[in-house]
Every structure is written in structure tokens, then in C-alpha cells.
Structure 1
Amino acid sequence: MSADRQVITQTAVDPAKVVGKPAPPPLRHEVVALEDMILERDASVVLRDGTRIYVDIYRPSVDARDLPVLLAWGPYGKHWVTSRTFTGSEVDPAWISEYTGFEAPDAAYWCRHGYALAIADPRGLWHSEGDFPHNGPQEREDLYDTIEWLGTREWSNGSVGMLGVSYLAGSQYQAAVMRPPSLKAISPWECFGDWYREFATHGGIPETGFRPRVTTNISYGHGQTENTAANMVAHPLNDWYYADKYGRFEDIEIPAYIVASWSDHGLHSRGTLDFFRQISSEHKWLEVHGQKKWSYFYHPDSVERQRIFFDTFLKGEERGIESWPRVQVEVRDTTNPADSTWRELPAWPLPERARALHLDVEAGQLLDVAPTSAASTTFDPITGSLDLTYTFTEDSELIGPMALRLWLSADAAQDADVFVIVQKRDAAGQTVRFPFNALFHDGPVALGWLRASHRALDAARSTELVPFHPHDAEAPLVPGTPVELDIEIWASGTVFHAGEQLVLTLQGRDYIKRAPAEGVPPLQILHEDLRNEGTWTVYSGPDHPSALLVPGA
């Protein structure tokens, strides 16, 4: 790597000093008999450069042969298996055994159904040798080598699959682009796909809540680990640091069962949907729910679908998977997921048919017909907000991304960090709160963000409903001068009944910031490095045609 392309690293923390979860046991290769399965602990995988990493392998028995293998690859520690659940997750403890890794498959379940499950500690983490690179070419090579090692064990049938949530989904992206011969199928559940737009920043606004936690999660080992948070601070624009974290998704051709959610805005929703769009697999399925991601992953119905998928492509069994809808989505209605409707869609993304709801900032409304009079309104985005409403006259399902074309001036600043919130208000005037992320039930319909100095568009990659910003340069605002901002709003699926309202909120701060709570891990997406000063003015009318673009006829 050239001198001007140095990745910032940190000295790893001794695994014995881990905080918040058990320390790993001393390194020792052994086979342990468990109830109804065995555990081969600390199996050594020698990578192509001679580095050794360690894998725990659960198998039905010592004598079991011809086993398909599932690989879970993540940074959280292969030793950290538990039936513990988090407050608010809605994961029923009866759904999982004590041999369930964080965001990983349950070893007891899969061994019971004739699989081996391998959980790896990547290079440089815990007791594995070397220095840890957070995604990128080195980790992709390591995944390739590990998959081929698993596929050639005497107890393996030569077919390896991958399954898991978040990091354990993103590692599947990395592995599949390498095309290891033994990797026959993947099932990534919810992971960002674009480091800059979905992890480091949102709309160019730095994310400050989640990335420090991630950096802590990857800090335990005996060498150096990538200091992800520090690198993101050092790279505020979309440059080389983010360019090759995952590889080319279009190179993926193996079967994939992909699950995304409307409920993970600010983290996984956008990337998982785009991953499905980009991969070249003939056999691929997309399922989009609107619930809490951990409870949905571990629900027995979901686990059964996972097994049908892997039975088909790792065991060669006929399980009727070709009758599955290629794309199915949950359309949310009330705060209770039981009231949702599931829809089969012909494709994802759907063909774009944008419908404009025009801003009238004087009336505080969104209109089907553009207003003929110019209007503006001024407010403090730090302490206040601007709400505009649209009342539906007939039942309408909005499925897909939205975009906001907004004319705005910052009256005393050279930048503006704009937060867009779309919510649903029922006929009684009550805001509908949806499941949100893994633990909460206070979510909106959808979120969008943009730092105004990043407003430049890549016309070739933009569509009417998905504006695409290169984020490779900044163009400061002239105080008091209105500019057009095209703001991406992440995809959602919601029904609005006649008499219900869509509420569009504009402000200069996060949608919500929660106080710490006992038993609830700090998983908030936050943006606290903001550039907002003074007031904003928002414009509407013929000369400043601000509009919310929604999917529809």
C-alpha cells in the first residue's frame, strides 16, 4: 500500500480483558461431546500466507459423514454462544439453544438436521493470528481459503453455505464475490452494502453512534486491528478507503436467499435491497419484512425457510423452493405486524412510477397539484422542525424508495445537515410507531439525510426516486441563497387508508435519541457532528418547485 493510502490501525486489546461478554478460553484444540452433537474447538485453518485462524466446528457426531457445512464468519468471538436475548428484541428464548452465536445460526438446530456449523474467528481477532483488516481484499482471500478448507474435510460433503445477520451477512458478500468452488449458496440477512452511504455517513452526514461500537467489537486480539472509526473521521469524503470493501456484487452467481427489512433504516435496509439488485444469480429470492430483525431471523418459521433453502442447494433435496415468490414484501399498516399484508412483487426494484406530492410551505401541506403562489417559511432546525401533511382520499400502498426535491437556504451558515422523516398518522390523528432496528418499537415509515454541501448529483446513476450523490467533493452554501437538494429516502412499504395522513418532517437533528436503558445495548444510529447554525428557509411554488416524490401511478 502506498504511503498516502495507509489504513489507521490500533493495538488489539488482550482478549482476556474483553468487556460485556465472556473472555475466550485458552487456545486448545479438542473435541468435546455435547448433548446430541460434538464441538471441535480451535480447529486450525492455515491460510495461503501461513497465518493460522481458529474455527469452532459443531457436528452431529464424531462418526457423521457427508455433512453440508454452514459457515458463520464474524468478529464477535466464536466462543460467545448463548441463549441470552436482549431486552426489546422479542426473541423467544425457546427459539434458540445455548449454542447460538451472536447474529449466527443455532448450532443445535442445524446439527439436529444433519449439518455441520463452523464459527470462525477472522485473522487478527481473539486467538487467530495476524492483523485484522475490516473487510476488503485480505478478508476475502481468507474467506476463500477457509471455505475450501471446510469443503475438503473428511466429514464434509463438499458443499458449504453461509448464514447470518449483519457482519455475518456482509462476510457472505465478500466470500461469494471470490467464487470459491465449495461455496454453493448464501443467505445474508440484513447488512449494509455501501460503506460510505450506509455506515460511515448518511447523505454525507457522519454517523457517530454505531461506528464507535463497531470499532470496539473488532478490537480484541494479539496484533493490530483496523481502527474503523478513526479511518472514517480521516476520510469524510467517499474516497479510496471505501472503494473495495466488498468487491463486485455482479460477480456473484450462486443461489441466494436474501432477507431485508423496512425497519432498519440507517443501517441495513438500503444495502441488502441493493445487493439483491446487483448480484447475477439465476436462483435468488428476496424477502422484505417490517419487523425487528433478530426476532424475525430466529423465528421458527424463518429458520424453517432457511433450512428449505440450504436443503435444496447443499443437500440436493427437492423442497419446492422454485414455487417461492422471487420477491415478497410486508406492507405495514399499524404498529402491530399482525395487521400487515404480504405482497408478491414481479421484481425488485419495481419499475419507477414517481408521483409528486408538492410542498406548500405556507399551508403546511403536500398537494397533488403544484401550488401557483410562491411561499417560504423560516425555522430553527436545531430546536424546531417543519411538518407538512398529505391526506389520502383512497387506500394507497407506497412500496419502494422516495425522494425529496427541496429548495432550502441556510440563512447564517455555509452548510446544512438535513434530516427527513416520513411518518404515518392514522385517522384518529395518532402517529403510527413501527418496529425499528432490532430492539425498538418507535420507528417511522422512512428516513432520509443529506449534507447540503454534498448536493452534487451523478446524473448517470440517479433516477427520479433514487438520487445518487458521489460525495467526493463539497460545495459550500452561500448564506441566504436557496439551492435545490435532492434527498434519497430509503425504501419502505406502507399502506395509507383513506383519511390517514403522510407526515413529512424536516429538521436538523436525528429522528430520535434514546436514553441508555438497562439490558439494552447501545445500538443507536446517531449523527452528532453537525454543521447546522442559525435558521433555515424552505421554499415552494413555481420558482422553487419543492416536492416529495413517492412510488405510485
Structure 2
Amino acid sequence: MSDDQKLFVPSQPLPAGRTGVLTPFEPGTRTLTAGTRIAPAFRALPVDIVLEKDVAVTLRDGVTIHVDLFRPTGTDPVPVIVAWSPYGKAQGTSPSVMGIFGMVGLDNSLVSGLEKFEGPDPAYWCAQGYAICNPDIRGVVDSGGDSVIWDRQEGRDCYDLIEWLAEQEWCSGKVAMSGTSYLAASQWFTAAEQPPHLAAINPWEGISDTYRDLVMRGGMPDTGFARQLQEGSFFGENQKEDIIAEAERHPLMDGLWENKIPQFERITVPAYVVASYSNTLHTAGTFRAWRRMASEDKWLRIHNSQEWPDYYDEGNREDLRRFFDHFLLGDDNGWEKTPRVRYSVLDLAGADRVAVPADQFPPADVISTRYYLDARTRTLNATAPTDEATVAYAVGGNPDAVSFLTRFAEETTLVGYPKAHLWVEAQGSDDMDLFVLVQKLDANGTPLQAFTTPNQSALAHDITERGASILRYKGSDGRLRVSLRHLDETLSTDEVPAHTFDRVEKLSPGEVVDIEIDLLPIGLAFHPGEQLRFIISGRHLLGTMMPGTREYTPANSGRHVIHTGGEHASYLQLPVQSA
């Protein structure tokens, strides 16, 4: 069984930088009066809020967790929104969370400090007639048991919490979930367990496959952020899962990792999903879950920034409230008329389009179009070259990449899923770690980029120059370890290839193999004269996801050869919107 494959290490106590005003274990009920500021930097409470602190909840296996409950005063039953994550339930006022708001350029006065990191703010939601439940999950802070990372166990635990909440006398029996990142990913797992009283979910960007999105994207053991997550969270009194050791012991897809993929076909609850094109950790997983979940009532909004500014934006919060009011309060507010998809088109020069309505994603007027690589001219063309040709780079050389260009003669919009179909050869090695990137250039060939957060300071430039890819968008990327190229026939589509990652197929000398690489979904506008550059490299072209994360060193040597034309017609497939 996959649970027997898990590895654990001792947890550590919550460090001072992660503690907030409400961190001390102080069970009891109190009222926070309107006008109260939990700490000086934060917003004053607009209404009186009842706080039930450190309430014990027993899970099905006997483990006790503790939750903080924020609810409106009064006796009318209210629905409750759960924020499920390993980030301590009282960290909203911690130096760590305040520092993250500062890093992205958000003022802490946007929130009350009562919210969990990346979660809904009780100050706002209690004023709208909702309760908020902030749990310390299994193994975290004062809760019992050993913690796990993005796992079906969390879905079962949250099921138990939801059903417990529904029975409380102050609860209407309607429970929802909301939040970004970890708080989004946990919603896939919970909804798949189908708790009877879960009425709606709001996953706001989050992974949906721990192997493919977190520890082994493209089959490469790029575990820098996983290490940061494991060592910088899950503080508690017992043990926490050692996902780094698991990745080393289980480099291929097996039962351990399958237990860390939600059962999408069991997600049937109404869902308001929020995504972006620019989050190199969350984008693929959010779109995957959106595609595969079975919910008939599901909405997708694709924004043009970063998840934290987007989540705490006043207009977006009101939009979410309309969704929750409809499904949790039964309001006949016209939410069902909301377009099922609202997508953005990035311009990277200040003219983004947002909230473009559509019935599906990609929109119905998108045509997957092949742009064939030509090694002789280094261009992308509508037809495959008749003659075969090759282009190569030496691993560790300068340059250590090859590019192909196309210039658009007319207005062109890409919306959907790009992929690369390449014929490749390794010289002096039996494997290749390949990285690809679709980049927008202006008419003069200058690469265009855009910050995703309000902070565009000198420090923001520094930390995003060779990393922190979620904070500055440089294009749509993909990657693949070539020995793990085997496609999953049941999951792959023409638009989105999916790999099994369950077998190793090394390369023989002189062997030319074809591979498919999925790139992150894209929404990008090209004006007449602007260009698209497609880059292939043995080096990670975007760097790390977050500042301070250890960078991955690809397992490459020798030369990488790209074949084009003739029987080896490599191409880049792009989702082109018809005019």
C-alpha cells in the first residue's frame, strides 16, 4: 500500500518568525468587537466577530486537530468556509506572512490579520454572513498525528472536519472551501472524497499532481521548492512526511505518487476555479484539474497577475461572494449567467485583455496550428522542410541553446495549450534533460516580459533576473527528461500530451527519438511585426520558482542534437485564435 511507502522525519516547533498574535494555545470563546485591530499594520474589523479558539475536532482515526472559528454574532445559522493548509492557523500576523505581502507589493492593511496565509479574511466574510474555519491540520502546531504533503489522507481528514462543522448549532449545514496554492490543492483532494455537506469549492491556483507538478516536473528531480515547502512548513510536535527522501527512493510514478493525485472524476461539487498562465508551480495543475473534474457547475477565470494580489483584490472577492451567495445562501443573483470561462490575453506591453468570455477553454474559435522547425534557417514555418537538417549545442557550452523564430504579419492571438513535438538525439550521453520556452519578442527582436505583482522595485528585478519565475512572466515553458518520454495513451490528447513516468527508456548511440513536451497554457497577443521565439536548451531557462530556492542542476553531458525536416519534421504546435 502507498501509505506504507511514506517516509517521515521529526517535526520542529513553530519558529518565532511564523508565530502570530493568536498562536498561543488558548481554548475558549471571545468576541472581537468592531473597530478592533489584531495588530497595528492590519485593517480594523468592520463588525463584531465571535472567535472560538483552539476547538478540538476528532478525526475518524482518533487523531485530534484544533481549529479556530470566526463567525458573525447573532443566532441565525450561517455557512462556513474552510481554509485547509499546513500553514499555522494563526500565522496571518506573523513576520513571515507580512514579509511575503511586502515582497509582492501588497499593503498589510488590505486584510485583518485573522486570515490564514493565502486564505479568506474573516473580517470580510463574517460581515457578509459567513463563518471561517482555520484548522491546524494533522501534525501541525498543536494538532495530533503525523503530517503529510498533498495527499488523499488530507481529503479524508477535511471530509471529517466538514461533517463536524455541518453539525454545529451555528452552522446552516452548508460548507465551502477557498484559498490559493496549498489551500487550493487541498480542495481537489477533499471534493474527491464527496463530503455530503460540501456545497462549493474555490481553488485559486494549486497543483493537482504532486509528482508531475512539485517534485518531478518533466521527470526531473527538481525538488528545490519541495524542500522549501517541507522544511519551511509543517511545524509540529510529531513527525512530517519526508517528500524529498520519497522522491529519491521513488523516482518513477508508483502507488506512493498515485495516492497524491486527486480522483478528478469524483469531483462533482460546484466549483469556481481561478488560474493564471504565469505560475510555474500551479498553472499546469490548475488547468489539469479544471479539465478533468466532473463538476457540471464549474467556472474558470484566468487572470493576468499573481495569485495573492488577485485573491485579495476587492472586485475579485465580490465576484467570489456572488458565487458563494448563490450556492451557499441560495441567492437568486444571476450567478448562473456568468460565462463558464473568462480568460485573459497578455500583451506584455501594458495592453492586456482580461475577463474575455467563452464557453470553454480553449475557446471554440482556436485552431491547433503546427509551426515546423527549420534547422537551416532557424525559423518556424507553416510547412515542414522537405530536406532533413540538424542543429546542436554542447551541454555547458556558450551558447547552450538553439532558437527558432517566426514573425507575425497580422494580428495573432494564442489562447490554449502549446506543445512541442521534437526529434532529438543525444551525442556522448544516453539521456537528455530538455527545457523549452515560447517567448514573445517585439518587432525589433527585444524579449518582452511582465511583472505579475505590484512590486516592480530594484529588488524585484534582482530576484526575478534568474529565478522567482512566479513573480515575472517570461513566456510559456515546458520540460522533459527524454528517457521518460513514454506517453500515457489514456490521458494524452492532441493538445496536451501526458507521460506515464513509469519506465526508463535510455537512448542508444545515434538513436533519434520523437518526444512530446507539454508547455504551460498560454494567452498571448502578437501585433503585426512582432515575433515568437522558440527556445530549446539543456539548461533551465526560467530558474527557480521562488527566491531563495535551490536551483536544479540538469543531468546533462555531451551534445544535444535537434532534427528537423523530412522524416524528422519537428514542430511547435500553437493554439491560434481565428480572426
> TM-score w.r.t. structure 2 length?
0.89
Q: Quick one: distance in 1 between partners of 2:116 and 2:262?
A: 26
Tell me if 1:550 matches 2:574: yes
SS at match of 2:419: strand
1:208: Cα distance to partner?
Answer: 2.4
Aligned letter for 2:69? Answer: I
Change (3 A) 1:312 1:263: same
SS at match of 1:504: strand
SS at match of 1:527: coil
Change (3 A) 1:92 1:319: farther
1:461: Cα distance to partner?
Answer: 3.0
SS at match of 1:128: coil
Q: 1:419, 1:506 within 8 Å by CA — same for their partners in 2? A: yes
Q: Specify the alignment match of 1:394 in structure 2.
A: 410
Aligned letter for 1:318? Answer: D
Q: Specify the alignment match of 1:410 in structure 2.
A: 426
Change (3 A) 1:2 1:258: closer
Q: Where does 1:473-488 land on structure 2 (aligned, <5 Å)?
A: 473-488=503-518
1:312: Cα distance to partner?
Answer: 1.0
SS at match of 2:191: helix
Q: 2:301, 2:355 within 8 Å by CA — same for their partners in 1? A: no
Q: Specify the alignment match of 2:169 in structure 1.
A: 154
Change (3 A) 1:139 1:282: same
Change (3 A) 1:521 1:98: farther
1:407: Cα distance to partner?
Answer: 1.4
Change (3 A) 1:439 1:59: farther
Tell me if 1:434 matches 2:447: no
Q: 1:290, 1:435 within 8 Å by CA — same for their partners in 2? A: no
Q: 2:362, 2:417 within 8 Å by CA — same for their partners in 1? A: no
Aligned with 2:556 (options 526, 532, 538): 532
Q: Quick one: distance in 1 between partners of 2:21 and 2:484?
A: 43
Q: Where does 1:375-390 land on structure 2 (aligned, <5 Å)?
A: 375-383=389-397, 384-390=400-406
Q: Quick one: distance in 2 between partners of 1:88 and 1:29?
A: 33
CA deviations on 1:378-422 (whole Å, 9 max, x unpaired) are 212434211111111111111111111111211111110000011
Q: 1:18, 1:220 within 8 Å by CA — same for their partners in 2? A: no
Change (3 A) 1:159 1:234: same
Q: 1:150, 1:156 within 8 Å by CA — same for their partners in 2? A: yes
Tell me if 1:269 matches 2:283: yes
Q: Quick one: distance in 1 between partners of 2:22 and 2:355?
A: 43
1:100: Cα distance to partner?
Answer: 2.5
Q: 1:433, 1:441 within 8 Å by CA — same for their partners in 2? A: no
Q: Specify the alignment match of 1:348 in structure 2.
A: 361
Structure 1: unaligned runs, 5 residues or longer: 515-519
Change (3 A) 1:247 1:541: closer
SS at match of 1:304: helix
1:499: Cα distance to partner?
Answer: 0.8
Q: Quick one: distance in 2 between partners of 1:157 and 1:439?
A: 42
Q: Specify the alignment match of 1:43 in structure 2.
A: 55
Q: Specify the alignment match of 1:33 in structure 2.
A: 31
SS at match of 1:465: coil
CA deviations on 1:104-152 (whole Å, 9 max, x unpaired) are 1111111111111110011111100111122434322211110011111
Q: Specify the alignment match of 2:537 in structure 1.
A: 507
Moved more, 407-416 or 130-139: 130-139
Aligned letter for 1:73? Answer: W
Q: 2:118, 2:180 within 8 Å by CA — same for their partners in 1? A: yes
Q: Specify the alignment match of 1:517 in structure 2.
A: none
CA deviations on 1:453-505 (whole Å, 9 max, x unpaired) are 01122334322222221110111112343221211112111111111111001
Aligned letter for 1:66? Answer: P
Aligned letter for 2:430? Answer: Q
Aligned letter for 1:405? Answer: H
Q: 1:330, 1:342 within 8 Å by CA — same for their partners in 2? A: yes
Tell me if 1:11 matches 2:40: no
Identity of aligned residues (%): 36
1:203: Cα distance to partner?
Answer: 1.2
CA deviations on 1:523-546 (whole Å, 9 max, x unpaired) are 758432x21002211111102111
Q: Specify the alignment match of 1:522 in structure 2.
A: 547
SS at match of 2:417: strand
SS at match of 1:448: strand
Tell me if 1:103 matches 2:101: no
1:245: Cα distance to partner?
Answer: 2.0
Q: Quick one: distance in 2 between partners of 1:292 and 1:525?
A: 22
Q: Quick one: distance in 2 between partners of 1:521 and 1:512?
A: 11
Change (3 A) 1:470 1:350: farther
1:511: Cα distance to partner?
Answer: 1.7
Q: 1:91, 1:299 within 8 Å by CA — same for their partners in 2? A: no
Q: Where does 1:65-84 land on structure 2 (aligned, <5 Å)?
A: 65-82=76-93, 84=98
1:78: Cα distance to partner?
Answer: 0.3
Change (3 A) 1:41 1:335: farther
Change (3 A) 1:76 1:250: same
Q: 1:65, 1:154 within 8 Å by CA — same for their partners in 2? A: no
Aligned letter for 2:561? Answer: T
Tell me if 1:457 matches 2:482: no
Structure 2: unaligned runs, 5 residues or longer: 37-47, 454-467
Q: 2:20, 2:92 within 8 Å by CA — same for their partners in 1? A: no
1:246: Cα distance to partner?
Answer: 4.2
Q: Quick one: distance in 2 between partners of 1:285 and 1:523?
A: 35
Aligned letter for 2:127? Answer: R
Q: 1:210, 1:523 within 8 Å by CA — same for their partners in 2? A: no
Q: Quick one: distance in 2 between partners of 1:274 and 1:73?
A: 21
1:335: Cα distance to partner?
Answer: 4.1
Change (3 A) 1:317 1:440: same
